[in-house]
Amino acid sequence: MKNNDLADSTPLRKRAWSINTAIFALFFMCSFSAFSQSLSNPNIVKTPDTKRLYLKVNPMSVLFGPIPLTSEYGLRFEMVVNHRFTYQLGAGYLNKTLILQSALVEDTVQSIWDDFHFPGVRVQGEVRYYFVKARSGKNLNDYLSPSGLYIALHASYATATFKAKTVTLPKEEWTNLTVSVLVGAQLIQKESVGIDAYFGLGYKNNTATFTDYRSRTRNTDISDVYQDGLGAYLTSPIKVNLGCNFTFGLL
């Protein structure tokens, strides 16, 4: 493989991204965690277990991951601490976006992209405060249900390496760091299934480092790889969040 193969792939990445941006997508986030609460007074009748764990799924993230031209396959869970606060933890595996393997991309472009992959990982966390609860019933399920309007602090870190499948060098390593404040609404039906929509603003930092076949490294100018408005957005520190997740009750 020639040492300029990654550089020559830049027009293909621009072309594939233009297809990506035609499809609305956000993050597939999920991970794992669980806490429980119970009344500790031995002199009264025990209440039902207050433990609550919810799976969060964004199916569009398999088309559009946190790093350009990646898909994310991961797990994200929301854990109820009390009737106002919840925590979320998530982790995911990244690789080349599925759009590059779809009928939306010409066969000749697909054949070129088949020689490359984009493996990586993502971790994220979130704390939520529900300032308006959708349920006001007296039973325990209504009291603890994470259903209503919320404000949240969300943080995410992702890293992925773009390279040919058959060699280790050259390669291009990408990172994405975001910290955002979100405002959203989650509605859950009978503690089993629901929908979670949110909007937010925050800080982001995207970096890319190219390593040639002699192990020499240099920073990649992201605005050269993705031009027009996209390059300016990727290099801007402003993060815009807009998305929707499906919620499923587990425990």
CATH of the domain at 117: 2.40.160
Cα separation of 188 and 242, whole Å? 19
Domain membership flag for residue 41: no
Render pLDDT for 128-166 as a digit per residue (tens, 0 to 9). Answer: 999 999 876 677 877 888 999 999 999 999 999 999 999
Domain membership flag for residue 131: yes
Helix (H, G, I), strand (E, B) or coil at 95: strand
Domain membership flag for residue 227: yes
Render pLDDT for 175-216 as a digit per residue (tens, 0 to 9). Answer: 999 999 999 999 998 888 999 999 999 999 999 999 999 999
With a cut of 60, say whether residue 3 has pLDDT above it. Answer: no
Instruction: Count how many domains the chain has.
Output: 1
109-146 burial code (b ≥16 CB/10 A, e <16): beebbeebebebebebbbebebeebbeeeeeeeeebbb
Domain membership flag for residue 19: yes
Domain membership flag for residue 186: yes
Domain membership flag for residue 169: yes
Helix (H, G, I), strand (E, B) or coil at 135: coil
Domain membership flag for residue 150: yes
Q: What is the DSSP string of 186-239?
A: EEEETTTEEEEEEEEEEEEEEEEEEE-TTS-EEE--HHHHS-HHHHHHHHSSEE
pTM for the complete prediction? 0.78
Nearest to 10 by CA among 231, 239, 204, 238: 231
Domain membership flag for residue 183: yes
Using alpha carbons, list the distances in angstroms from residue 47 to 39, 59, 61, 86, 250: 7, 36, 39, 20, 19
Range of the domain at 172: 5-35+48-249
Render pLDDT for 28-74 as a digit per residue (tens, 0 to 9). Answer: 344 333 333 333 444 444 445 555 899 999 988 988 899 999 999 99
Residue 112 is given by DSSP the state H
